[in-house]
Amino acid sequence: MRRALLSFAIALLCLSTTGWGASAAAIKDRGALTVLSLNLAMREDVDRIAAELTSIGIGQTDLLLLQEVVRRGDGPDVAEQLAARLGLASSYCTAFTLSDEKAVGLALVSRFPFHDPQVIELKPISLRFRSRTRIALAATVESPGGPVRVYNVHLDTRINLGQRLDQLGAVVRKVEATVGPTLVGGDFNTNNNLWLFNALPLPFLGRQGAGVQRFMAENGFRSVFALGRPTHDVLRMQLDWLFLRGLHASSMSIKPVALSDHHALLASLAPGD
């Protein structure tokens, strides 16, 4: 009961939104929903973040899925500050804290109105050191082609495929009750290591990307990006993904950014398989 009450309280604190982006007339004039997903690597220089994302086309982006978003004390989180600069809406929730003054979480930033935000607690896994609380952040975005249910996820790093699918399964169970076009994206941390005791990596023995792709396909999702498209600077790992159900991607790209060791995923989406 105590855990349930705590989860409910966290959800109430997390599910606030700021701003409302484009007008209804602007929505009607827009084409597909353009999405960007990026792990911000806990960067806090909002001016630099805005400048770098502008250089890769954030001006044409309708929806941002951001991971490792920092919030200092009671002040606005980095995504809220970024959204204010861009005139967009934002929603943030803390996943874990690093100190009394520094929290880290997930955020959605949208050009279009969104509603029904939800925080999903992922299966906790003891990593022996530097264990983190992991969550997914969901909302329904009123896109030009109709409502799209969006799930922004950030899974643990030092886990093998079975534990990774256990964490992802919490999101898929929520998706089962979702009707209509759905996007699941973010930092899946699908590295190629086999982890001993969630601490010692055996390189190139994991191949987790294929297993996650197969799991998502079994649950009705198609990956925007083919297997083998690196999204991380180290060892050319494919850590980040966008999975679609009831949507198709008319264009997609992976772009390195200097502010993060992750690359940015961009895709233009429209209803249809």
In a domain, 26, yes or no: no
Q: What is the pLDDT of residue 128?
A: 82
CATH number, domain at 148? 3.60.10.10
**Tens of pLDDT, residues 65-112:** 999 999 999 999 999 999 999 999 999 999 999 999 999 999 999 999
78 in a structural domain: yes
Least confident residue range of 26-40, 109-123, 243-257:
26-40
Provide the domain limits for residue 263. Answer: 2-19+31-271
Specify the 3-state DSSP secondary structure of 43: coil
Q: Does any domain span residue 144? A: yes
Q: Residue 216: is its pLDDT beyond 70? A: yes
Tokens, residue 133: 């609380």
Residue 192 lies in a domain: yes
| pLDDT attached to residue 22 | 40
Q: 203: burial class by Cβ within 10 Å (0-12, 13-18, 19+)?
A: exposed
Task: Give 128-171 as a DSSP string.
Answer: SSS----EEEEEEEEETTEEEEEEEEE--SS--HHHHHHHHHHH
The verdict on residue 25 lying in a domain is no
Q: Which residue has the higher pLDDT, 252 or 29?
A: 252
- What are 249's two structure tokens? 């991607």
Within-domain flag for 137: yes
- At 16 the pLDDT is 54
In-domain check, residue 43: yes
- pLDDT digits 0-9 by tens, 173-185: 999 988 899 999 9
Mean pLDDT, residues 122-135: 92
5 has pLDDT over 50? no
Burial of 79 (0-12, 13-18, 19+ CB in 10 A): buried
What is the count of structural domains for the chain? 1
pLDDT given at position 135: 98
